[in-house]
Amino acid sequence: MQYETILVRRDARDVVTVTLNRSEKRNALSAAMISELMDFAARIDTDGTVRAVVLEGAGETFCAGGDLSWMKRQVEADRATRMSEARKLAAMLGALNSLRAPLVGAIRGAALGGGAGLAAVCDVAIAETGTHFGFTETRLGLIPATIGPYVLARLGEGRARRVFMSARVFDAVEAERLGLIARCVEPGCLGSAVEEEVAPYLAAAPGAVARAKRLALQLASPVDEASVEASIAALADAWESDEARAGIAAFLEKRSPQWATAARA
C-alpha cells in the first residue's frame, strides 16, 4: 500500500506497522491523512492473515491533533461541510476501533486532541514517560466531540471527566492511571514493550482473535451510530459559538483568547 501521509510495512510474521508520516507537522491529522487511514483500515480488515497492527508516529511526536490548514478551512465552512468533515474523522476512528486484528499503539512525544483519540481506539496503547496527552479543544472554544465516544468507552465517565473538559495536559503516568494507555515505559524501551504486546498474538489463531475482539466490542457499551451522530452535531454547534470564533481567531493570530487572559488576572 502506497500513501502520501502514512507508511505501511508488513514483516515476515504478518505484523503490520502503520506510521503517521507528517513529522514536519507533528503528524497532525489532515484531511488526506484521515482519508488514507480510513483506506488502510478498510484494506487491512479484509486480510485474515494479519496477526497484529502497530500504530506509531514518525519523528518525536505521535500526533499533535488537527492540522492547522484543515482548521482554517473549517472556519469558513458551513454547518453541512463541518459535519461532513467530522463524519469522515468519526468513520476513520470507528474503522480503527473495530479492526479485526489487534491494534497496538506506540506513543511518544505527544498525543493531543485527535491524537489522544487515536490512543483511545487502540486495543493496547503504550507510551514513553515524558509523553504528553490532552483533550485541548476547549482552549479554542471547541469540544472533544468526535473522539468523545471512544474516549468515554476507554476511560469511563468518571475518569474521563477529570481531563475531558479542562484541556489540561497530563503525562503518561497519569494517562496510565486514567486507563487511556495500558502502561508507560522509559525512553528507549517502547519498541521492546510493543513487541511484548504483539508476541502473544503470534501464538493465537487470528480468526479466533478477531471473533474475540468482536465479542468484546458487542458485550461492552457499544459506540453506536446514535452516539457518533450526536458527537458530530455537538461539534457543529460548538463551531457556531461565539467562543469558537474568538478562540480560533486567537489561535491563528498566536495570542491568548479573552478567557485565558481573564484566568491569569
Evaluate whether residue 100 is within a structural domain: yes
Per-residue exposure over 78-87, b if at least 16 CB sit within 10 Å of its own CB, e if not: eeeebbebbe
pLDDT of 264 > 60? The answer is no
Determine which of 117-131, 201-215, 245-259 has the lowest per-residue pLDDT on average.
Answer: 245-259
Q: What percent of the chain has pLDDT over 70?
A: 98
Give 176-188 pLDDT, tens digit per residue.
Answer: 999 999 999 999 9
Query: For residue 18, which amino acid is it?
Result: V
Q: What percent of the chain has pLDDT over 90?
A: 92
Give 60-69 pLDDT, tens digit per residue.
Answer: 999 999 998 8
Evaluate whether residue 262 is within a structural domain: no
Helix (H) or strand (E) holding 124: strand 124-128
Evaluate whether residue 125 is within a structural domain: yes
Evaluate whether residue 234 is within a structural domain: no
Write down the pLDDT at residue 180.
98
Write down the pLDDT at residue 262.
53
- CA angle 261–264–265, rounded 5-degree value: 90
Question: What CATH number does residue 113 fall under?
Answer: 3.90.226.10
* CB atoms closer than 10 angstroms to residue 52: 26
Report how many domains make up the chain: 1
Give 144-195 pLDDT, tens digit per residue.
Answer: 999 999 999 999 999 999 999 999 999 999 999 999 999 999 999 999 999 9
Evaluate whether residue 108 is within a structural domain: yes
Give 43-83 pLDDT, tens digit per residue.
Answer: 999 999 999 999 999 999 999 999 988 888 898 899 999 99
Evaluate whether residue 248 is within a structural domain: no
Q: What predicted TM-score, i.e. pTM, was given to this entire model?
A: 0.96
Name 201's Cβ contacts closer than 8 Å, sequence gap at least 6: 51, 52, 102, 209
What are 105's strand-pairing partners? Answer: 55, 125
Evaluate whether residue 90 is within a structural domain: yes
Domain residues for the domain of 87 are: 6-203
Evaluate whether residue 220 is within a structural domain: no
